[in-house]
Amino acid sequence: MAFHKNYNQYLRIIITMHNRNFLSRIIPYYQVFKEKYNIDVIIADSSEKPSNFDFGNIEYKYYGPKKNFFKLRAEVYKTKTKYLMLFGDDDFLVPESCIKCLDFLIDNPNYTVCYGRTITFKDQINPEITNRYQFKNYENLKNKPYINDRLKRIDLLFDNFFMLNNSIIKTDVYKKSRILDFSKSFFAYKYSDFTRAHFYLFEGDFKIIPHIFMLRSNTRTIHNNNLKKKMDINIEKDLSDYLNDTLSSPNPIIQYLTKKYGYNKNDISFFHGYIYGKYLQQRLSGELWKIPNDQIEKEKTLLLKNLDIKIILGLVDNYHSNNENLKEKSQNNYNNINSKFNKSKKKKIFKSLIIKILRKLKDFFN
């Protein structure tokens, strides 16, 4: 595998940020990455207020509130490099593995996606590796050969489902998958990891390298309450959405595949349903995150010797240690003001509003 110079001509990294404050731990980390490989790193922010953090050599773009999805679409369409990568501000990319993936893709243009192993960690003081993220399927896929047949490579991925949304992806292929953003299909929106994988793999194969590629926080926050309600739909509703999308309204994936590749609509509809069944079965069974119990401690011991993991966990620990005083101060202010309002009948009109604001502050520091 060749080592390529001028990586900034090949890859652009977009980190999304929305009403969270992890900048003190990610900016120093990606500044070093930028200096070493000269790859552009962009922070796309849709928070309530712009940040006054010193970003140094990292590009910062503030889109304003209520622009959470618009910012991503805008940054994708600005991207001119052959490959791009997108992930959240609470995740950490492992630099050497990123370059290994990028070198592989440059040398093998018939692949559209490259990824590696993902490790999860508890986002807290003294962070712990939880290490269960898609372990079984990673083991099954890391040495797979190139597959020419489009349907077979999709079948293989969903036999061993591996989320590809945080991979290094061919920019033109990702842009094609963005037609899902304009679809009225809630199913396509909710299960973007399922739907986008079809686009990636119809244009080329995927590669899973045998290296740790990313560390992901296991603490996830959905900021939009309406979206949260939608994401809590039960399995019966999921199946109903799928059937409505496939049978009652134009399914964006089926439309695209029949028009571009000439597949018979009934055949590809059946295949799509068959693949969705595999995907849903794995997600519901928890198979994606299982790891044999006898391997957990052995794995942790090996992983903690990894220098990149040590650096990342150190940044996370330092971040939470520095913010502990702020959290305690916020909690005390919340308790004191809440107590005063409970004693005062004259301020009942304002109590509800102020308490909501305090809770938001409390959630922010948590």
DSSP assignments along 216-274, one per residue: EES------HHHHHHHT--HHHHHHHHHIIIIIS--HHHHHHHHHH---HHHHHHHHHH
Query: Average pLDDT, stretch 126-140?
Result: 76
Q: Return the structure tokens found at 296.
A: 């957990």
Contact in structure between 195 and 252 (CB atoms under 8 Å): yes
* pLDDT band for position 112 (cuts 50, 70, 90): very high
Q: Return the structure tokens found at 341.
A: 């309002």
pLDDT at 130: 76
pLDDT at 325: 54
% the chain with pLDDT above 70: 68
pLDDT at 308: 87
Q: What's the pTM value of the predicted model, to 2 decimals?
A: 0.79
Looking at residue 129, what DSSP letter applies?
A: B
pLDDT at 209: 93
Distance, in Å, from the CA atom of 249 to the CA atom of 192, rounded to the nearest integer, reads 18
Token pair 């409505």: residue: 244
Interval 300-352: pLDDT, tens: 777 777 888 888 988 998 888 887 654 544 444 444 544 544 544 444 444 45
Contact in structure between 127 and 300 (CB atoms under 8 Å): no
Distance, in Å, from the CA atom of 275 to the CA atom of 157, rounded to the nearest integer, reads 9
* Domain residue ranges in the chain: 90-305, 324-365
